[in-house]
Chains A and B, each alone.
Chain A
Amino acid sequence: MIQVTNLSKSYFTATMETIALDNINLQIAKGEFVSIMGPSGCGKSTLLNLMGLLDEPTEGQIMIDGKNFRHKKEKELARYRNHHLGFIFQSFHLIGDLPVIDNVELPLLYRGISARERRKKAEEALARVELTHRKARYPNQLSGGQRQRVAIARAIVGHPSIIMADEPTGNLDSVLGNEVIRILSDLNQRDQVTIVMVTHDESMARKTHRIIRLYDGSIVN
């Protein structure tokens, strides 16, 4: 489903080049739940951003479902992300000025569907993460675990085929972290959603199908 070929990413300043990723090659099959692990600064989040079409590689290509996304226009990438990708972030990145239900609805705003249908789908997604009773609250009125569950609801509301999760348990304790992994595993098993998760936590990573280890911008296993 996801095929990464000779992928490299460098950052340039006036005086130097920093290589974040160096010639990465990997494949992730449909329905796989994969962890990416490595020390800080090894390029995990960079790889996730590239696979999630949130950034443009310096070299190489990314193919998702047979489609090559190198040099695609912004609108095309945005549309693909909206319909096929979901994102979960370590810092949740909820919009504090909107109540929970509006946060969950966010991806559907850009699909051109009616307000009624958006609301229905958002409530279904919230029910999946067992937060229907909190839909009118604002993010600052929720615990960390609840916020991350709202973020998961937002990520799945559009029924994406792939979820990119960047350290989803990074800001949570082990109990809440396990709860998040349980929800993600459930999504993966029941809905066959492909999940790519960046994590520091070995115990969380062992609950996934496969672990990809990065070191200094390269895959080491």
Chain B
Amino acid sequence: MLTNYLKIALKTFSRNRFYTLVSLFGISFTLMVLMLATAFMDNEWGTNPPLSNKDKLLIIPHMDMRTWKRESSVHLDTIYLRDSMIVDTTVTEVPIPGVQENFASANMSYNFLKDHISTMKSPEIVSIYAPQIPTEVFPQEIRMALSVNMVDENYWKIFDFDFMEGYPHDKTAIDNQSRLIVLTDHTALQYFGSRESYLGLEVVRGHEIYEVIGVVRTPNSSSPAVRADAFLPITLMPPHSLKYEFGYFGGCHAALRAPDKLSREAMTRELRQIEQNMEMVDGFDVMNFWEKSIADLYAWPVLGGNNERLGKTLVWIVFGTLGLFVLIPIFNLINLNITRILERSSEIGVRKAFGAHTGHLLFQFVYENVLLTLAGGALGFIFSILVMRWFNQIEILGGTMLEFNIKIFLKSLAITILFGILSGLLPAWKMARKEIATTLKFNRI
């Protein structure tokens, strides 16, 4: 039976070449975009190293401190003493909660995070780091800009970088402000050229020399928590970068890892408690942590919402847009398929007359459509690979390299087949339900 359907499908496709080409183009282009989007989302939001634990993580990149407006009340006491009137004036200032007078927001100071966040009970582990500090080096006297993450020993426990050689900074290196550097493989290649090993080599920055102790695979994610060219101990940061001497501000972020996914909310609750119980300094009345998940961090520059968590909103927007993007060609294909199937009314009538029921016909037409969609999917797959290579070559995504792995392939295949079923089902259903006598009135050979 499948051979019969396959023969008919191939004949139909070759008979209506224009329709077939239009369908193939529409399917392959749509699926190419879907596959690229899936690859991109898997890179950014998937549980891939170094963000395999992303579902357990909270990042605190920022906090704010506010001063409420004051309401002044003046209380006058009049005293008569030895025929003189003495007026005692008392001015009381009462803060008006919710009415803001001053607002400041920034990263947090290293000492503040060490004293109040590292001691939290709900996280399994806490890291303090300063991401994406720009710096310049001059290998062979050629300027090379680097983005450096200043990290502590826990950073490597929270983010599971893939060490190609060497090892991360340990507590001793951090405490001793050791001049030890971890590079990404791209940076090592750029700085030193191709080598069998980079361990023990030296990176020169100004008057400082850093020994390479590890090389990690360059992360594909653009998340600022992990996206860097090199990693140094946070204790090497100058004091004014670590603490601003104003409020609790400084230049650091915190990364918190919960014991499991469900405990992440417990960390949020504990942060709220810390805010309420914190002793305020420098005239501030309240403070607020801007804790975010990895997805929220991603949404922050896109959707704004400083103190809001908009990761899920961004995901809904992206999926909604992709869904619409897929629906439009599905509707177009449905229209094309209705026209195509109408031409085959006679065949439908004959098949039904000789014993086919609606289920047989549905299967046949959906099978034909899935074949066409798989052909379009194969083309889309090839286009995706080519476009992906081109994107990676010209670094159109700012250094994020798209990868095609078996997970992406299977998801794309599932989308392709679903596409074929959805766009074939409705037209097939419409025609298969027609009365036999009616369909036999359409005549074609």
Chain A residues within 8 Å of B, Cβ to Cβ: 46, 49, 52, 54-55, 74-75, 78-79, 81-83, 86-87, 89, 91-98, 102, 105-107, 109-111, 115, 139-140, 147, 154, 158
Chain B: which residue is nearest A54 at the CB level?
Answer: B436
**Contact sample, A vs B, 25 pairs, CB 8 Å cutoff:** A49-B436, A49-B437, A54-B352, A55-B435, A55-B436, A74-B357, A79-B355, A79-B357, A81-B353, A81-B355, A87-B350, A95-B350, A96-B445, A97-B12, A98-B4, A98-B8, A102-B4, A105-B4, A106-B4, A106-B350, A109-B356, A110-B360, A140-B445, A147-B445, A154-B354
Cβ B12 vs Cβ A55 within 8 A:
no
Query: Which residues of the other chain, A, contact B360 by a CB distance below 8 angstroms?
Result: 110
Cβ A93 vs Cβ B4 within 8 A:
no
Query: Which residues of the other chain, A, contact B357 by a CB distance below 8 angstroms?
Result: 74-75, 78-79
Q: Which of A78, A83, A91, A107 has the most CB of B within 10 A?
A: A78
Cβ B8 vs Cβ A87 within 8 A:
no
Is B1 part of the contact surface with A, judged by Cβ < 8 Å?
yes
Is B351 part of the contact surface with A, judged by Cβ < 8 Å?
yes
Given contacts A97-B7, A109-B4, contact A78 B356 (CB under 8 A): yes
Given contacts A102-B4, A110-B360, contact A93 B440 (CB under 8 A): yes
Minimal beta-carbon separation of A127 from chain B (angstroms): 20
Other-chain contact of A92, B1, B352, B445 (Cβ < 8 Å): B445
Query: Which residues of the other chain, A, contact B445 by a CB distance below 8 angstroms?
Result: 91-92, 94, 96, 139-140, 147
- Distance A51 CA – B251 CA, assembled complex (angstroms): 88
Is B75 part of the contact surface with A, judged by Cβ < 8 Å?
no
Cβ A109 vs Cβ B350 within 8 A:
no
Chain A: which residue is nearest B355 at the CB level?
Answer: A82
Other CB < 8 Å A-B pairs besides A54-B352, A54-B353, A111-B355, 18 of them? A49-B436, A49-B437, A74-B357, A74-B358, A81-B353, A82-B354, A82-B355, A86-B354, A87-B350, A93-B350, A94-B445, A97-B12, A98-B11, A102-B4, A106-B4, A106-B351, A115-B3, A140-B445
- Distance A38 CA – B231 CA, assembled complex (angstroms): 96
Given contacts A49-B437, A55-B435, A55-B437, contact A98 B354 (CB under 8 A): no
Q: Which of A93, A102, A107, A147 has the most CB of B within 10 A?
A: A93
Chain A: which residue is nearest B347 at the CB level?
Answer: A95
Query: Which residues of the other chain, A, contact B444 by a CB distance below 8 angstroms?
Result: 96
Other-chain contact of A109, B1, B346, B436, B437 (Cβ < 8 Å): B1
Name the interface size band of chain B: 20 to 34
Residues 417-445 of chain B: 1 if any A CB is under 8 Å from the residue's CB, otherwise 0? 00000000000000000011100100111
- Distance A140 CA – B359 CA, assembled complex (angstroms): 29
What are the 6 A-B residue pairs with the smallest beta carbon separation, nearest first?
A: A82-B355, A97-B11, A110-B355, A107-B354, A78-B357, A54-B436
Is B15 part of the contact surface with A, judged by Cβ < 8 Å?
yes
Cβ A87 vs Cβ B358 within 8 A:
no
- In the complex, chain B residues 371-394 whose Cβ is within 8 Å of any chain A Cβ: none
Query: Which residues of the other chain, B, contact A115 by a CB distance below 8 angstroms?
Result: 3
Query: Which residues of the other chain, A, contact B8 by a CB distance below 8 angstroms?
Result: 95, 97-98
- In the complex, chain B residues 155-205 whose Cβ is within 8 Å of any chain A Cβ: none
Query: Which residues of the other chain, B, contact A93 by a CB distance below 8 angstroms?
Result: 346, 349-350, 440, 443
- Distance A109 CA – B346 CA, assembled complex (angstroms): 17
Chain B residues within 8 Å of A, Cβ to Cβ: 1, 3-4, 7-8, 11-12, 15, 346-347, 349-360, 435-437, 440, 443-445
Minimal beta-carbon separation of B430 from chain A (angstroms): 15
- Distance A78 CA – B359 CA, assembled complex (angstroms): 11
Query: Which residues of the other chain, B, contact A92 by a CB distance below 8 angstroms?
Result: 445
- Distance A96 CA – B437 CA, assembled complex (angstroms): 20
Chain B: which residue is nearest A109 at the CB level?
Answer: B1
Query: Which residues of the other chain, A, contact B347 by a CB distance below 8 angstroms?
Result: 95
- Distance A164 CA – B346 CA, assembled complex (angstroms): 17
Chain B: which residue is nearest A155 at the CB level?
Answer: B354
Cβ B355 vs Cβ A78 within 8 A:
yes
Cβ A52 vs Cβ B353 within 8 A:
yes
Chain B: which residue is nearest A140 at the CB level?
Answer: B445
Minimal beta-carbon separation of B360 from chain A (angstroms): 6
Chain A: which residue is nearest B349 at the CB level?
Answer: A93
Chain A: which residue is nearest B432 at the CB level?
Answer: A74
Minimal beta-carbon separation of B433 from chain A (angstroms): 9
Cβ B350 vs Cβ A54 within 8 A:
no
- Distance A109 CA – B357 CA, assembled complex (angstroms): 12
- Distance A97 CA – B5 CA, assembled complex (angstroms): 11
- Distance A89 CA – B359 CA, assembled complex (angstroms): 24
Minimal beta-carbon separation of A31 from chain B (angstroms): 23
- Distance A49 CA – B437 CA, assembled complex (angstroms): 7
- Distance A17 CA – B7 CA, assembled complex (angstroms): 43
Query: Which residues of the other chain, B, contact A86 by a CB distance below 8 angstroms?
Result: 354
- Distance A97 CA – B346 CA, assembled complex (angstroms): 12
Query: Which residues of the other chain, A, contact B351 by a CB distance below 8 angstroms?
Result: 106
Minimal beta-carbon separation of B428 from chain A (angstroms): 15
Chain A: which residue is nearest B444 at the CB level?
Answer: A96
- Distance A87 CA – B443 CA, assembled complex (angstroms): 15
Query: Which residues of the other chain, A, contact B440 by a CB distance below 8 angstroms?
Result: 54, 89, 93
- Distance A46 CA – B349 CA, assembled complex (angstroms): 15
Cβ B354 vs Cβ A87 within 8 A:
yes
Minimal beta-carbon separation of B192 from chain A (angstroms): 64
Query: Which residues of the other chain, B, contact A52 by a CB distance below 8 angstroms?
Result: 353
Query: Which residues of the other chain, A, contact B356 by a CB distance below 8 angstroms?
Result: 78, 109-110
Q: Which of B11, B353, B436 has the most CB of A within 10 A?
A: B353
Minimal beta-carbon separation of A151 from chain B (angstroms): 10
Chain B: which residue is nearest A89 at the CB level?
Answer: B440
Query: Which residues of the other chain, A, contact B349 by a CB distance below 8 angstroms?
Result: 93
Q: Which of B346, B350, B351, B444 has the most CB of A within 10 A?
A: B350
Minimal beta-carbon separation of B166 from chain A (angstroms): 63
- Distance A147 CA – B347 CA, assembled complex (angstroms): 15
- Distance A106 CA – B355 CA, assembled complex (angstroms): 9
Chain B: which residue is nearest A91 at the CB level?
Answer: B443
Minimal beta-carbon separation of B185 from chain A (angstroms): 56
Minimal beta-carbon separation of B198 from chain A (angstroms): 63
Other-chain contact of B354, A46, A102, A110, A139 (Cβ < 8 Å): A110
